[in-house]
Structure 1
């Protein structure tokens, strides 16, 4: 019983950092209109909002740098030191945003400093997710690696939910005027406190032993030169879940309000319900992957996405709230299963010498190039083709690539990891 409690503590200490990463993402997105007015004042509120979202995008653009930095540290020095550093950077940057003077106090320097803080957060995110996934899956028993990976993914969704809830709660309690003046800083102060909690928990985190064949002198270069096929396979496997997530929880939510005339509250309620389902599904899917293997479940997800995406997209275009909720929950179910599977898969396919580097490059490359751009791609496709179902074809194309990658993927469930 004691060993089981210690194991649970290790999983919590490793995965809880992802709660903060996605908490920050949700808080910034929720408060972007207020942040835009403080740091990018303009007579045009749309211009201020776009500038605030531009600062948000800086976090995505800095992710490749984070993959290189933390991939090198994680493979050369150890997973635990990389995780401690990523959390210190995230905590410092989040606190920096909380105390940063606005444009009224220091002029244009405020916007520059906000961009720097967002860039540091992006570097931290790139190191946190990949490194924590690698460490936890490496430390897990062979028959529980999928379950542990599922908890990593559940933590991400839980952070997103927490961020949205905290932003909404603080806004409701303080009111519009206080929120615009200073209340928007409170969620970021809470984020800094979460970072301190994570650091304290991680002091007792056990690190993975370094590879028996030694560490690579330049892990990133070795990963790109010797394991580019595996990196490409991981990108294809992550592709449909990354695109579907941003398509359904960013693009579709805006579409429901602007084109389908649902209220903002209804759109947010649907998104929240879908995220709750993903939190529940992720560990369950990881358990099934341990029992039946990664390939059978990935085949289910990719084939189901190919067959069900068009009908579900049709359901989301119906004026009935019930149809829309049904479609979003089905997408959330497939997406939750797919996300949870990618965590152990990207760790198991790569040798230990370059595991953090290769998995981090693959994940952040996919998320940056295809996941984060999905709402813009969807908007462009609909505008160019005048076909509201163009995003569905895009999702189906990514599912087809994932299906091809799954058919070539070796089954690693229950097998020992390469050391």
Structure 2
């Protein structure tokens, strides 16, 4: 590490910690946004599609549409993040998220403007997907580049932990609305309050992010010839295709585990186990709380023992528990469903925690934001946003309540095995060496 860099990181220690805290807070809003849509999908179906046959599947498809726009946002914001800075990209992203969430909160329903309400939600959902195209990845990059060597796993796990906080706020808010409002009031205005809360959280991020300091890594490479002569995205795709592929594979496992084994559980309980909304959302709240507690321990373990061993352990646990956990969910009883939810949530959250540092470490400084954003968001579209829709469709087609479990296992095997073969464990490699490509790890 150069003396200049040592000086730059030694002086603003308190400001750097403040910046890391503000950055990590952004994942709360992102995951609140995308989780709340699925948690109140039944109310959205009644509001915008009149609760007709197939309306729930159509609503889930709208939720999926937002994910489809994430790669486009990843290309745009990834380029901006590598060219003009991590901080500026995250400020613009937060502003667009606030607009999208507020727009959905005030969108008139089917009774007022017919199908155009659903069309409006589709457009705003796509805007939200575009806005967060590099949100989570940008935050992970920022935390990894701001952390001390040997603590990157713990620091980046903040992003994963806060994503669980966002999901917890979403499922907890949904539970409170379902618990204390009648189904008619929940459909009429209750769900709108939840989206309004998300809009306020996103708006609050804009002034907070203006207080952030840019990372030293970006400051050092922003004016280099490699970063200015051509697009950072083109640079990373040409120079580091393996890193992009690893980012995609790691995120494929994480997305399938997260969206099928955490986000989709309340909806699964309502439709399959005939558990009422308030009970299913309460079970989801408890499971999310357990996942939050587990997340930093997974980050610390990956710092101490390496990313690969922890990935292997978590992968085995996910494969071993997914099908039995879904059987427990299908039992219908509160205690068994709670155990099933915890068995699904804990390893899924642990995988996300390790991935938060492991994926950025696959890239050198130039193109890190772009390459990670593309790999992560492509996987999120295919195996994240599409998963609740595909799982519901598979259950309808096969008639099996365990179709989501088999689908999750298939994705985890197909993506996890090649990922472990290609993955470079760089937990013990100094960031300066990773940035310059001195060691492949």
| Fold similarity call, TM over 0.5 | yes
The 5 Å alignment of 1:283-362 reads 283-318=296-331, 321-362=334-375
CA distance in 2, matches of 1:115, 1:162: 23
Structure 1 residues 229-279: Cα deviation after superposition (integer angstroms, max 9, x where no partner): 222222222222321222223555444444444444443232222111111
Q: Which runs of 5+ in 1 are unaligned?
A: none
Q: Which residue of 2 aligns with 1:196?
A: 203
Instruction: Choose which of 36, 52, 67 in structure 2 pairs with 1:45.
Output: 52
Q: Which residue of 1 aligns with 2:385?
A: 372
Does residue 418 of structure 1 match 2:435? Answer: yes
CA offset at residue 294 of structure 1? 0.9
CA distance in 2, matches of 1:376, 1:170: 24
CA distance in 1, matches of 2:24, 2:306: 23
CA distance in 1, matches of 2:332, 2:194: 35
Superposed CA RMSD: 3.0
CA distance in 2, matches of 1:174, 1:310: 34
1:236 touches 1:398 (CA, 8 Å); kept in 2?
no
Q: Which residue of 2 aligns with 1:54?
A: 61
Q: Which residue of 2 aligns with 1:23?
A: 32
CA distance in 1, matches of 2:128, 2:382: 18
CA distance in 1, matches of 2:98, 2:279: 33
1:238 touches 1:402 (CA, 8 Å); kept in 2?
no
1:299 touches 1:403 (CA, 8 Å); kept in 2?
no
Q: Which residue of 1 aligns with 2:101?
A: 94
Larger deviation: 364-373 or 28-37?
28-37
Matched residue SS, 2:359: helix
Q: Which residue of 2 aligns with 1:165?
A: 172
Does residue 14 of structure 1 match 2:23? Answer: yes
CA offset at residue 373 of structure 1? 2.6
Q: Which residue of 1 aligns with 2:422?
A: 408
Larger deviation: 203-212 or 372-381?
372-381
2:48 touches 2:109 (CA, 8 Å); kept in 1?
yes
Q: Which residue of 2 aligns with 1:271?
A: 284
CA distance in 2, matches of 1:196, 1:254: 29
Matched residue SS, 1:141: coil
CA offset at residue 213 of structure 1? 5.2
Does residue 132 of structure 1 match 2:139? Answer: yes
Matched residue SS, 1:372: helix
Structure 1 residues 49-76: Cα deviation after superposition (integer angstroms, max 9, x where no partner): 4443333222112111111111111111
Q: Which runs of 5+ in 2 are unaligned?
A: 1-10, 437-441
TM norm structure 1:
0.88
Does residue 215 of structure 1 match 2:224? Answer: no
CA distance in 1, matches of 2:337, 2:42: 27
Query: Residues 378, 171 of structure 1: CA spacing in aligned structure 2 closer, same or farther, 3 A cutoff?
Result: closer
CA offset at residue 355 of structure 1? 0.8
Aligned residues: 417
